[in-house]
Amino acid sequence: MLIARFILRLLATETTKVTFPSTRTRNVLETAQCDNHLIHYFSTTEHQRRSPFNSIYNLPNNKEVEPLHAQAIKNGSAQHQQVGNHLLNLYVKCSDLGQAQKLFDDITNRDVRSWTILITGFAKLGSTKLGLDLFAQMQYDGVCPNCFTLSSVLKCCSCLNDLRKGKEIHGWVLRKGVGSDVVLENSMIDHYVKFGNFDYARIIFESMSKRDTVSWNIMIGAYLHIGVVDKSIDLFRRLPIKDVASWNTIIVGLMRNGSNVKALELLYQMGKVGPQFNNITFSIALAIFASLSLLELGRQIHGKVLRVGLLCDGFIMNSLVDMYCKCGKMDRALAISKKPPQGYDDMQSSNSVLWSSIVSGYVQNCRFEKAFKLFREMVCEGVEMDEFTLTTLASACANAGILEQGLQIHALIEKLGHKLDVFLGSAIIDMYAKCGSLDEARSIFIQTDSRNTVLWTSIISGCALHGQGRESIHLFELMLKEGIRPNEVSFVGVLSGCSHAGLVEEGHAYFRSMQEDFGIVPGVEHFTCMVDLLSRAGHLNGAEDFIYRNGISHISSVWKALLSASRLHKNIEMGKRVSDRLLELEPLSAGPYVLLSNIYATSHRWEEVAEARSMMEQRGVKKNPGQSWIQLKNQLHTFFRGDRSHPQATEIYSYLERLITRLKEIGYSIDTDLVTHDVEEEQKELILGFHSEKLAVTYALMSTPCGSLIRVMKNLRVCTDCHAFVKYTSKVMGREIIVRDPYRFHHFKHGKCSCGDYW
- Supply the DSSP string of 132-174, one letter for each residue: HHHHHHHHHTTPPP-HHHHHHHHHHHHHTT-HHHHHHHHHHHH
pLDDT at 457 (0 to 100)? 93
The fraction of the chain above a pLDDT of 70, given in percent, is: 86
pLDDT surpasses 50 at 243: yes
- Alpha carbon distance 316, 333 (integer Å): 13
pLDDT at 476 (0 to 100)? 96
pLDDT at 179 (0 to 100)? 65
- Alpha carbon distance 697, 456 (integer Å): 33
Window from 172-176, 201-205, 711-715 with minimum mean pLDDT = 172-176
- Alpha carbon distance 312, 181 (integer Å): 39
What is the phi/psi pair of residue 665, to 5°?
-65, -20
Positive/negative CA dihedral, 178, 161, 130, 25:
negative
pLDDT surpasses 70 at 609: yes
pLDDT surpasses 70 at 104: yes
pLDDT surpasses 60 at 677: no
Q: DSSP letter string over 394-457?
A: HHHHHHHT-HHHHHHHHHHHHHHT----HHHHHHHHHHHHHTT-HHHHHHHHHH-SS--HHHHH
pLDDT band at 284; cut points 50, 70, 90: very high
Fold of 522-623: 1.25.40
pTM of the model: 0.63
Positive/negative CA dihedral, 176, 196, 245, 273:
negative
> Pick the residue with more confidence: 385 or 157?
157
Residue 62 and residue 94 in contact, taking contact as beta carbons nearer than 8 Å: yes
- Alpha carbon distance 709, 686 (integer Å): 28
The one-character DSSP state at 528 is: H
| Separate counts of helices (H) and strands (E) for the chain | 40, 6
b/e burial code for range 249-282 (CB count within 10 A of at least 16 → b): bbbbbbbbbbbbbbbbebbbebbeebbebbbbbb
pLDDT at 682 (0 to 100)? 39
Terminal Cα distance for the chain, rounded = 37
b/e burial code for range 338-373 (CB count within 10 A of at least 16 → b): eebeeebeeeeebbbbbbbbbbbbbbbbbbbebbbe
Window from 52-56, 670-674, 714-718 with minimum mean pLDDT = 52-56
Positive/negative CA dihedral, 327, 329, 334, 336:
negative
pLDDT band at 472; cut points 50, 70, 90: very high
- Alpha carbon distance 732, 750 (integer Å): 8
pLDDT at 13 (0 to 100)? 41
Calculate the average pLDDT of the chain: 80
Length of the chain: 759
pLDDT at 475 (0 to 100)? 96
The fraction of the chain above a pLDDT of 90, given in percent, is: 25
pLDDT at 603 (0 to 100)? 66
pLDDT at 147 (0 to 100)? 84
pLDDT band at 676; cut points 50, 70, 90: very low
pLDDT surpasses 70 at 408: yes
pLDDT band at 168; cut points 50, 70, 90: confident
The predicted model gives 663-673 an average pLDDT of: 79
pLDDT at 650 (0 to 100)? 93
Q: What is the pLDDT of residues 491-544, one digit of tens each?
A: 999 999 999 889 999 999 999 999 999 888 898 899 999 999 999 999 999 999
pLDDT band at 469; cut points 50, 70, 90: very high
Q: DSSP letter string over 639-705?
A: EETT---STTHHHHHHHHHHHHHHHHTTT----GGG--S---HHHHHHHHHT-HHHHHHHHHHHHS-
- Alpha carbon distance 190, 202 (integer Å): 11
pLDDT at 58 (0 to 100)? 46
- The angle that helices 606-618 and 590-602 make with each other, rounded to 10 degrees, is 170
Task: Give the strand pairing for 710-714 and 737-740.
Answer: parallel
pLDDT at 62 (0 to 100)? 63
- The angle that helices 279-291 and 295-308 make with each other, rounded to 10 degrees, is 160
pLDDT at 519 (0 to 100)? 85
pLDDT at 127 (0 to 100)? 82
- Alpha carbon distance 138, 380 (integer Å): 58
- The CATH 1.25.40.10 domain(s) of the chain lie at 522-623
Which of the listed ranges 346-355, 547-556, 686-695 does the model predict with the highest average pLDDT? Answer: 547-556
pLDDT surpasses 70 at 51: no
pLDDT at 486 (0 to 100)? 92
What is the CA 210 to chain-centroid distance, rounded? 35
